[in-house]
Amino acid sequence: MKIKKSELAKLRKEVNKEFKPLNTTEEIITWYKDLIKKSKIKIKTIPLSECRNWRFNNKGQMVHNSGSFYKVEGVRVVKSFRREINFGWDQPMFTEPGYDGGLLGLLKTNINKSPHYLINAKFEPGNYKFIQLSPTVQATFSNIKRTHGGKSVKFLEYFTKSKKNNCKIIFKQWVSEEGGRLKNKRNLGILAEYYGNNKIKFSSDYKWVTLRQIKELILQNAMINPHLRTLVSFI
C-alpha cells in the first residue's frame, strides 16, 4: 500500500510546523534516562550449548524447540559483488521462518489539536544501553502467535484490526532488514492513525511524542532504534 501524496505532504508539514507537544524533548530524554537507571537489567554471556529450549539439529543449524523464532545457519558466499573479499567467505546467519520477521507499527493520534505518535522504551538484550525508543508495536510473528507462552502484544489490534478499533492505515509496506547478519528478512511496517474518542491507556514505558521530536531524538546518541527510524524515514 503506497502512501498518498496528500498524506505524505501533511506528514512532512509536521516536521517543520511548531506543534505543542505533551512533553518537551528534554523531558522525554530525562524520562528515557531514568528508565534505564531504574531498570536494573542484567545480561550474562553463556555457551550456546546451555541456551534453554535451543538445540542443534541434524543439519548443523541451531533451532528453537518450537520450530518458531529464527534459526542460526551457516552460509557460504562463493562469489561476492565489489566487497573487501571478492572470493567469498563463510559466516553464520539468522533466518526467520518464511523470511518474514514481524510487525512494526507506529500509532498516531491528535492530542490538543497536535499530532502525536506513541513510542515505546523497549528492552532488547542486544541493544546499546539495553533500552531504546521504538515503535508502538515491534514484535516478531512468533511473538504475535505467543509461541513464547508470554503476554500478548500490546496495541496490536490497532494495526491488525484497524477499522474495528477506529484507525485509518496511512502507510503499510514491507521493509527490509540488515542483510549482513539476517538472511532475506523483512518486516511489515504500518503507520496507523487513531480517530476514536476513547483515551488510549498505556504503562510508564510509553510516551506520546510529535514527529518533530522523533526527528530531534534521532540526533541523540543511539536513543532511537533502527525500526522507529525506518518508519519515519520516508517523511
**What CATH number should be reported for the domain holding residue 216?**
3.90.79.40
The answer to whether residues 218 and 134 touch, using CB atoms and an 8 Å cutoff, is: no
Of 63, 80, 95, which residue constitutes the final position of a domain?
A: 95
pLDDT score for 139: 94
Residue 86, pLDDT > 90, answer no
Q: Which residues form the domain of 72?
A: 48-95
Q: Do both 215 and 228 map to the same domain? A: yes
What integer best gives the mean pLDDT of the chain?
A: 93
> How many alpha carbons lie under 13 Å from residue 137 in its C-beta half-sphere?
27
Question: Quick one: which of 166, 157, 170 has its CA closest to 199?
Answer: 166
Sign of the Cα torsion 209, 11, 131, 125 reads positive
pLDDT score for 2: 80
pLDDT score for 203: 96
What whole-number distance in Å separates Cα of residue 131 and Cα of residue 34? 11
pLDDT score for 82: 86
Q: Where are the alpha helices (DSSP H) in 161-225?
A: 211-218
Q: Do both 26 and 70 map to the same domain? A: no
Give the type of residue at 127.
N
Q: Which residue has the cell 502484544?
A: 153
The answer to whether residues 165 and 158 touch, using CB atoms and an 8 Å cutoff, is: yes
Copy the grid coordinates of residue 217: 531524538
Q: Do both 89 and 145 map to the same domain? A: no
pLDDT: which is higher, 163 or 84: 163
pLDDT score for 97: 87
Q: Do both 65 and 111 map to the same domain? A: no
Of 65, 80, 95, which residue constitutes the final position of a domain?
A: 95
Q: Do both 73 and 135 map to the same domain? A: no
Q: Do both 126 and 192 map to the same domain? A: yes
Q: Do both 170 and 195 map to the same domain? A: yes
Q: Do both 191 and 143 map to the same domain? A: yes
pTM confidence score:
0.93
Of 95, 122, 156, which residue constitutes the final position of a domain?
A: 95
Q: What is the mean pLDDT of residues 117-140?
A: 96
Question: Quick one: which of 168, 104, 171, 115 has its CA closest to 141?
Answer: 104
Residue range 50-64, pLDDT digits in tens: 999 999 999 999 999
pLDDT score for 107: 98
Q: Do both 212 and 166 map to the same domain? A: yes
Q: How many domains does the chain have?
A: 2
Q: Do both 138 and 85 map to the same domain? A: no
pLDDT score for 65: 93
Distance from CA of residue 112 to its chain's centroid?
27
Confidence class for position 234, pLDDT limits 50, 70, 90 = confident
Q: Do both 91 and 102 map to the same domain? A: no
pLDDT score for 138: 96
pLDDT score for 84: 87
pLDDT: which is higher, 97 or 116: 116
- C-alpha distances (whole Å) from 44 to each of 41, 50, 93, 126 are 10, 12, 22, 11
Residue 166, pLDDT > 80, answer yes
pLDDT score for 115: 96
pLDDT score for 151: 85
Q: Do both 74 and 164 map to the same domain? A: no
Confidence class for position 149, pLDDT limits 50, 70, 90 = confident
What whole-number distance in Å separates Cα of residue 209 and Cα of residue 117? 5
